[in-house]
Amino acid sequence: MDVVRTAPSQKSARAESTFLERLTLDWNRTHAHHADDGLPFPQAIVRVIERPSSATALVYWSDPGFCHYGYQGWRATTATAEGVCSLSGMPIHRGDQVYRPSQRDPKPQNAAAMILAAAMPKNSEEMEVDLHE
């Protein structure tokens, strides 16, 4: 008897992707990281250029070989997932106040990046600090 295999459905592909994401998150939670490993974009140079309002920021983002945004808008929001602050390297937990790249079409390549609201510079003197160099 011949067995005919069909390509996985979109539903099973999504389920597999979700499973792998959860597996990766569980692995990362239970295995120690080096300090440099924590950043989701370890090569990125991140600078806050301007604070047009308390809920917005203009960010310089340059990640060699990945993406470059010279004047990218970021907005205040609430973290919906665990992560790492791209500016300070501090852990981010669900529910934390963060800034994220403004979503538009097409979605920016650094859309998963977050900056803790507590790490966001409040004035122009603080904006000169670059914690990645």
Residue 69: give the domain boundaries.
Answer: 36-128
What is the residue-averaged pLDDT of the chain? 79
Query: Is residue 5 a part of any domain in this protein?
Result: no
Query: Is residue 58 a part of any domain in this protein?
Result: yes
Task: Supply the pTM of this predicted model.
Answer: 0.66
∠ CA 128-130-133, nearest 5°, is 140
pLDDT digits (tens, 9 = 90+) for 19-33: 656 655 555 555 444
Query: Is residue 18 a part of any domain in this protein?
Result: no
What pLDDT shows up at residue 24? 55
Query: Is residue 71 a part of any domain in this protein?
Result: yes
Q: Please determine, for residue 83, whether its predicted confidence score (pLDDT) is greater than 70.
A: yes
Conformational region of residue 9, where left means phi above 0, alpha means psi within -120 to 50, and beta covers everything else: beta
Question: Which band of pLDDT confidence, cut at 50, 70 and 90, is reported for residue 7?
Answer: low
pLDDT digits (tens, 9 = 90+) for 90-119: 999 999 999 999 988 889 999 999 999 999
Contact 111, 100 (CB under 8 A): yes
